[in-house]
């Protein structure tokens, strides 16, 4: 009997691309066959003038994944790299920032219209060096995203530089400044910073590789993710579709976690941060 058969397995950050990747049917089938049950899917970046097109495409993606027997929820936002791409294309900073803010407003509209959209993300700031002005604009966009999440009572999933205690403190203060609970703030691509997450209220989302091994020794207050890219032109980038189920199976087999801890990581934490009730 498969050890994962009756257990919840959630990938908190897995991209699907209907044009450049395997697409929703193939990705969800591979995930399901590996033991996966639930996907949290952020829209991919547009890297074009139309920042909202990938958000519209998510409606079909979510429906196709659900139709293929996998529970799916979407999060909508504008990747922070969109700002620097617009600047590289000759758009002024203030104009580019306003395009980003308008796109967040559009994400809000779709989240209110569809119950399978459960958060804003990925939003934040570039993980690479940018000027102080771009960093300041990125933080303004992030704060606006948090304020919007507070307005519609949803989560925010953040893309930013490598996690640190000072960063968790900063994000916690930003959330509180707009009356958003830090418990609704997820730091995508965290390392094993579960204790720092507990201290400041931020939810770490940890890639299903070595950092999970050390994280589970400290706490189960985290989410698991792959950041699978779904682009046939970039095979092997970040982690593969099966990584979260495989890693969870390994943790169970090595008795690093038990079924109770599995439920905590893959169901209870997900339900808490997104304000949903998972059925699979």
Identify the CATH number of the domain in which residue 186 sits. 3.20.20.140
Answer yes or no: is 200 within a domain. Answer: yes
Answer yes or no: is 80 within a domain. Answer: yes
Answer yes or no: is 81 within a domain. Answer: yes
Which is higher by pLDDT, 236 or 57? 57
Check: CB of residue 212 under 8 Å from CB of residue 251. yes
Average pLDDT over residues 69-79: 98
* Signed CA dihedral, 139, 98, 55, 114: sign only: positive
Answer yes or no: is 95 within a domain. Answer: yes
Answer yes or no: is 279 within a domain. Answer: no
Q: Indicate the burial class of 218 (C-beta count within 10 angstroms; 0-12, 13-18, 19 or more).
A: middle
Check: CB of residue 192 under 8 Å from CB of residue 173. no
64: helix, strand or coil: helix
Answer yes or no: is 87 within a domain. Answer: yes
| pLDDT tens sequence across 145-186 | 999 999 999 999 999 999 999 999 999 999 999 999 999 999
Pairing of strands 203-207, 223-225: parallel
* Residue whose token pair is 């997104």: 274
| pLDDT tens sequence across 220-265 | 999 999 999 999 999 878 899 999 999 999 999 999 999 999 999 9
pLDDT in the model for residue 235: 82
Overall domain count for the chain: 1
Mean of per-residue pLDDT scores for the chain: 97
Answer yes or no: is 75 within a domain. Answer: yes
pLDDT in the model for residue 49: 87
Q: Indicate the burial class of 221 (C-beta count within 10 angstroms; 0-12, 13-18, 19 or more).
A: middle
Closest CA to 44 of 69, 75, 70, 1: 75
pLDDT value at 65 more than 80 = yes
| pLDDT tens sequence across 78-111 | 999 999 999 999 999 999 999 999 999 999 999 9
Q: Where are the alpha helices (DSSP H) in 68-118?
A: 81-88, 93-113
Beta-bridge partners for 120: 76, 156
Answer yes or no: is 280 within a domain. Answer: no
pLDDT in the model for residue 280: 84
pTM of this structure: 0.97
Range of the domain at 166: 10-274
Distances (CA, A) of 196 to 176, 190, 233, 278: 17, 11, 36, 27
pLDDT in the model for residue 155: 98
* Residue whose token pair is 């519209």: 56
């Amino acid at each position: 009997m498969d050890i994962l058969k009756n257990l919840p397995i959630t990938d908190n950050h897995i991209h699907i691309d209907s044009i450049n990747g395997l697409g929703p049917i193939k990705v969800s089938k591979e995930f399901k066959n590996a033991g996966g049950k639930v996907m949290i899917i952020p829209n991919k970046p547009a890297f074009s003038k139309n920042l909202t097109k990938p958000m519209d495409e998510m409606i079909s993606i979510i429906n196709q994944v659900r139709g293929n027997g996998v529970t799916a929820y979407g999060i909508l936002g504008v990747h922070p790299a969109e700002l620097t791409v617009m600047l590289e294309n000759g758009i002024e900073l203030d104009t580019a920032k306003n395009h980003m803010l308008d796109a967040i407003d559009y994400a809000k509209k779709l989240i209110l219209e569809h119950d399978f959209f459960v958060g804003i993300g990925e939003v934040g700031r570039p993980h690479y060096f940018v000027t102080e002005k771009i960093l300041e604009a990125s933080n303004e966009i992030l704060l606006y995203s948090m304020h919007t999440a507070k307005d519609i009572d949803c989560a925010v999933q953040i893309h930013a530089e490598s996690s640190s205690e000072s960063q968790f403190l900063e994000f916690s203060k930003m959330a509180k400044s707009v009356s958003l609970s830090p418990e609704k703030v997820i730091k995508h691509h965290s390392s094993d910073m579960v204790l720092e997450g507990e201290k400041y209220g931020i939810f770490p989302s940890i890639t299903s590789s070595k950092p999970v091994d050390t994280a589970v020794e400290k706490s189960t207050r985290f989410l698991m993710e792959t950041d699978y890219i779904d682009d046939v032109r970039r095979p092997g980038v970040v982690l593969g579709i099966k990584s979260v189920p495989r890693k969870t199976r390994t943790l169970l087999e090595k008795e690093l976690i038990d079924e109770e801890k599995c439920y905590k990581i893959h169901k209870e934490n997900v339900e808490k941060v997104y304000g949903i009730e998972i059925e699979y």
